[in-house]
Amino acid sequence: MIIMRIAQIQFFQWDKIYNFDQNGLNLKKGDKVIVKTDLGLEIGDVIKLIDTEAKGCNSCGGCSTAQVDKQELKPVLRLATEQDLEKVITRDDKDNALDFCKRTVERLGLDMKVIDAHFSFDGSRTTFAFIADGRVDFRELVKELTRHFNRNIRMQQIGIRDEAKVMGDCGPCGRKLCCSGFLTSMISITSEMAEVQQIAHRGSDRLSGCCGRLKCCLSYEIEGYEYLKGKMPPMGARVNVDGARGIVVGHHVLKQSVDVEFAPEKQGDRPFRMEVDLTRNNRAGCPKA
């Protein structure tokens, strides 16, 4: 088995992360490097360095256990120099390009919102990112942009979460949005995560971020909650508590306790419930029926 080091590189915030052969360079996270892609030369940021087995498929997206065929990986050409960084399009140039694109979109009456622009390092193309509710026929837009900028134009549709990542904002916690700060990939956030953490009752307004989607931070502690929940008897399980037999009707994951309902001792009485601490000498025992 041959172990090789892979440099995971991202060219702009709303793009994927790609795997490249480190090519013997002493790279570290945060370095800016020059690479050759299928579309030409690009300058990108080193997001992560991983060691992996040198066989299998060229996988991208951040899997540290990926098996990669070295021959399929393009090499990192070199570290970016000061002269390279001087060639990068300035913020003013990008704003001017965005302004022209937005005005053209408005004039053509296209139902889309242009968010950001990326200029390739070799100057051969410009990629505009946009969001839209559905498919958009932007062929006429591309023609006008090509004539104006005199370079290849690519339009890339992104999601609303990517928009928040690009635009940035402050979350309800008062800190910079995670997606525009330290998160390098967008994982799927589901309502089941809120249910496992027993906060689904707070409602979608409190569980949603600035993008209108479920907050990314719902995934941060989900593994711990799932582990703790796995140690508890399932809902509806019949358990023995101090010799009395009852049914589990509620979970308190962090407290590691369960609500157990017991049948009434006398006919006509209401069922009796009590909270049982599973950590105190395993009082419930919680054997399944």
pLDDT score for 65: 41
Average pLDDT, integer, range 14-42: 89
**SS3 call for 283:** coil
User: Looking at 86, 117, 133, which one is the last position of a domain?
Assistant: 86
Whether the Cβ atoms of residue 239 and residue 260 lie closer than 8 Å to each other: yes
Residue 289 lies in a domain: no
Residue 230 lies in a domain: no
pLDDT interval class at 53 (50, 70, 90): low
Same domain, 14 and 82: yes
**SS3 call for 210:** coil
Residue 43 φ/ψ region, left for φ over 0, alpha for ψ in the -120 to 50 degree band, beta for the rest = beta
Give how many domains the chain has, as a whole number: 4
Same domain, 80 and 11: yes
User: Looking at 54, 71, 86, which one is the last position of a domain?
Assistant: 86
Per-residue pLDDT tens digits for 85-126: 888 888 898 999 999 999 999 999 999 999 999 999 988 899
Q: Which domain holds residue 145?
A: 91-158
pLDDT score for 180: 82
Same domain, 59 and 17: yes
Element (H, E) at 193: helix 191-196
Summary mean pLDDT of the chain: 85
Residue 121 lies in a domain: yes
Residue 152 lies in a domain: yes
Residue 288 lies in a domain: no
Q: Which burial class, exposed, middle or buried, applies to 179 when counting CB atoms under 10 A from its CB (0-12, 13-18, 19+)? A: buried
Q: What is the pTM of this model?
A: 0.67
